[in-house]
Structure 1
């Protein structure tokens, strides 16, 4: 099974870096082959072009970009659950991403 690439987008790329590490730990513990990274909203288009993610996960603070991304990309775009984001529940966010990718 090919590795899943999960891209997290937030306003500056900082707040999601902790979530990325928690998601990676959850993926390793679960035996999932996943590449997870975060980027700032301003650099999202470059990262989509270079990394070809399977899914785009938006931080709650950039949820207003959902429709714009959905129009422009041909991969699933989801908003990270605010409670999971706030509590840094990496395993929940990872599971949601994997469920959507299928």
Structure 2
């Protein structure tokens, strides 16, 4: 599975990406997780299965869903507590749940 995190600039989210990668199980090691600024979502959406917005851009959720609805991919906002605390494992589990429920 490939997970795209989108945020304002990509700096703080890259810390979460590292924690997410560190939490991957052996069977998840091939998963791709990247963070990119929300303005670049269109450049990367084809390469990812799940799109997660950082809480700082969560107010743009409906616009992102509308802009990319034809891609039929789960798009959601990361729990602010998980984001702020750098809970990589919980964010990976959230992304996996969204993907399964798609």
- Normalising by structure 1, what TM-score? 0.88
Alignment of 1:1-102 (within 5 A): 4-27=1-24, 29-32=25-28, 33-49=30-46, 52-73=47-68, 74-102=72-100
Specify every segment of 5 or more residues in structure 1 that has no aligned partner in the other structure, as ranges.
none
Aligned structure 1 segments of 4 or more residues deviating by more than 6 angstroms:
none
Give the structure with the larger helix fraction. Answer: 2
Shift, 1:43, TM fit: 1.2
Superposed CA RMSD: 1.1
Shift, 1:46, TM fit: 0.9
- Normalising by structure 2, what TM-score? 0.88
